[in-house]
Structure 1
Amino acid sequence: MRDQAEALRMKMLKAQGELAKSIAIVSGKGGVGKSNFSTNFAHSLRLKGKKVIVIDMDIGMGNIHILLGVSPKYSLRDYLMGSNSLEDVINVDEEGLTFISGGSGLDTVLEWSESMFERLLDAFEHLQKEYDFILFDMGAGATQRSIELIMSVDEVIVISTTEPTSITDAYSMMKFICLKDPDKKFNIVSNRVTKQDDGNESATRLQYAMRKFLDKETLILGFLPEDPTVHKAVLAQKPFSLLYPNAPVSKRMAAIADVFVQVDRTEIKQEIGFLTKLRGIFLRGRE
């Protein structure tokens, strides 16, 4: 009965345009600046009037709170364990960006009790009605748990550098996801670009490979140049897009956000809702 009621409620809310879009931000390997992208992308979306929340899903290596200069008292794990409310684990930085720290133990999803998973679904249902975008900052690479969450979201943003190994790893990640869900929407961003032509070429290579070998169209959001202000912002624990708004990398981030918000998402195929797909993770683990 709950599944039917949930499906009906989500269908009605989606028809009214009230549900947040869920976005997984991924990379083929670590060290490409994925979390830094997540925080600055979120802030850029906020500057365009969008309500955004970032959920750090990089288990054991999460650093969203460090990049934002916030020391959260509680994490998503504390909420799932029932020791704290959802409001307790939602943090806000000085600029007003909302985020949730993942905490440890989230990779043991199949060991969660039914009550813990119900709390997770309740949390995401609430967040979907409160925000325009939910950004999941995923750990580098692919694990069973991360892939299952990625399969549930509306679309994916893939971060890659111009290095051949990074491009190859990004393609492998996209291919793996696409074979599991051919309808998944992909967005591509090239990071740490030293020459504009290199950034355009690397993103185009990924786009071409997806089209040629998987018959899958992808959207290039843009590229971010190598910029010394990024390192300065990390040391200051502030988003570079706010600390140095006139820096080349900040202007490029604003352009990426522009492209993203202007995309027509009415045709994104999501026949089974985000929450229903997440429920499937729990049910498969108990079979």
Structure 2
Amino acid sequence: MANPIQDQAEGLRRLLVQDSNLHAATVISGSVGAGKTIAVINLATALVRSGKKVLIVDENASASNLGGTLGLSAHRDLLDVIRRDMAFDKVLIQHYDGFSILPAGRGMRVLNKLNPDDQAHLVDSFGSLTPPVDVILVDAAPGHASKLLSLVFPCHEIAVLVSSQPASITAAYALIKHISGNGGSQRFRVLVNKVNEATEAKKIFDNMARVASRYLSVSLDFIGFIPPDDKLRQSIRRGRAVIDLFPASESAVAFGRAAESLFNWTSEDANNGGMRGFMQSLTRLAGDQPSHSDQHARQSSATIQETRSDHV
């Protein structure tokens, strides 16, 4: 009789051989309104234009999710793959900018309930994607609502999106504390959004990095900042990537640099996870995360005052 656990392990080994060059990054933000989904769309577009095959995993199930932002309707999602109602490639949405979207909002809610057979099926479904992708970008649900926080454990990169607003800084710090304090990454990339000058962005980052190092023993790396220019606002209203509509704009150039920086980071650490790490996290670590968002926010508020004081 087949052993589901052994079968799953064999599936993971096959994926490791096939996709050892895959790079994955989860984009997170501590609160709604930081601009995370817009950032993911533009990072993906920039990576596609640099010759990469990109898959976006969209955890958000609301109307303002990544598909909705682009004016796309998702009639199926990861749950249909889990139930074996739909093949993996039939659930994917192909965007004309060149990246694929996996709607995963409903599917993520049941990952902690999967038996070994369902886990193995999900792993094999991901591995069946042809042609294989070079980069997976995960658009996680905001803050502690995300079921994908388990996916940002050591297997791949974490990009934290933060704006200059004090609430955004506080929420981002609390989320970093939550992830790093629960056996997760001790290294985070930071993209500062909605700031006009590099000096302002660096000031925000430097203060965050100092506080995170002092109180959490966590390392932060700066991957860039995004200015809120008129071209970006126009592209958002039209449901398009600014890189696609206005490639010479300041915001488009900034997203291109951030994507290059993030991909260079993931390339350096590619052997520390790859598809195997992503799949193992998806199937093994997808259980419910403890919900301590209020406690984390209270504990974080005192230390983060050092960061906020320069931006209030």
Q: Offset at 1:12? A: 4.0
Q: Matches of 1:128 and 1:179 in 2, distance apart?
A: 37
With over 3 angstroms needed to count, the CA separation of the structure-2 counterparts of 1:49 and 1:76, relative to structure 1, is same
Look up the equivalent residue of 2:189 and give its one-letter code: N
Give the whole-Å Cα distance in 2 for the aligned partners of 1:140 and 1:221.
20
Deviation at 1:244, TM superposition (A): 1.0
TM-score, normalising length from structure 2? Answer: 0.80
The 8 Å contact of residues 128 and 134 in structure 1, kept in 2 or not, is answered as no
Q: 1:284 to 1:55 in 2, by over 3 A?
A: closer
Match of 2:10 in 1: 5
Q: Note the 1:1-287 alignment, pairs <5 A.
A: 1-13=6-18, 18-61=20-63, 63-104=65-106, 106-112=108-114, 114-127=116-129, 130-143=132-145, 145-151=147-153, 153-181=155-183, 183-263=185-265, 264-266=267-269, 269-270=272-273, 273-281=277-285
| 1:115 positional shift | 4.5
Shift of 1:204: 1.9
The question of whether the paired residues in 1 share the 8 Å contact of 2:11 and 2:123 is answered with no
Cα distance 1:44–1:79, how it changes in 2: closer, same or farther (>3 A)?
same
C-alpha displacement at 1:127, in angstroms?
4.8
Post-superposition Cα deviations, 1:30-66, rounded to whole Å, max 9, x if no partner, equal 1000000000000001111111110101133552112
Question: In the TM superposition, what is the alpha-carbon distance from 1:173 to its structure 2 partner?
Answer: 0.7
Normalising by structure 1, we get a TM-score of 0.86
- Check 1:103–1:52 CA distance in 2 against 1; reply closer, same or farther (3 A cut): same
Are 1:207 and 1:220, in contact at CA under 8 Å, matched by a contact in 2? Answer: no
The more displaced of 57-66 and 218-227 is 57-66
Instruction: Tell me which moved more, 184-193 or 260-269.
Output: 260-269
8 Å Cα contact 1:154-1:184 kept in structure 2: no
Shift of 1:218: 2.1
Q: SS of the residue aligned with 1:72?
A: coil
Asked if the contact 1:203/1:220 (under 8 Å) is kept, the reply is: yes
2: distance between equivalents of 1:237 and 1:118? Answer: 36
Q: Secondary structure at the match of 2:158?
A: strand
Distance, in Å, in 2 between the alignment partners of 1:68 and 1:284 is 29
Count of residues paired in the alignment: 282
Query: Whole-Å Cα distance in 1 between the matches of residues 117 and 88 of structure 2?
Result: 15
Q: Deviations over 1:122-145 (max 9, x none)?
A: 233345981111111001011372
What secondary structure sits across from 1:273 in the alignment?
helix
RCO (CA 8 Å, sep 6+): is it higher in 1 or 2? 2
Return closer, same or farther for 1:268/1:212 CA change in 2, 3 Å cut-off: farther
Greater shift, 192-201 or 118-127, is seen at 118-127
Q: Which runs of 5+ in 1 are unaligned?
A: none
Residue 130 of structure 1 aligns to a residue in which SS?
coil
Please give the root-mean-square deviation of Cα atoms over the aligned residues, in Å. 2.8
Which string of whole-angstrom CA distances, capped at 9 and with x for unpartnered residues, describes residues 2-54 of structure 1?
Answer: 2442454355456xxx3412211100111000000000000001111111110
Q: 2:216 corresponds to which letter in structure 1?
A: L
SS of 1:50's partner is coil
Q: Structure 1 residues 124, 204: closer, same or farther in 2, change over 3 A?
A: farther
CA distance in structure 2 between the partners assigned to 1:144 and 1:246 by the alignment: 34
- Contact 1:20–1:127 (CA under 8 A) maintained in structure 2: no
Distance 1:114 1:10, change over 3 A: closer
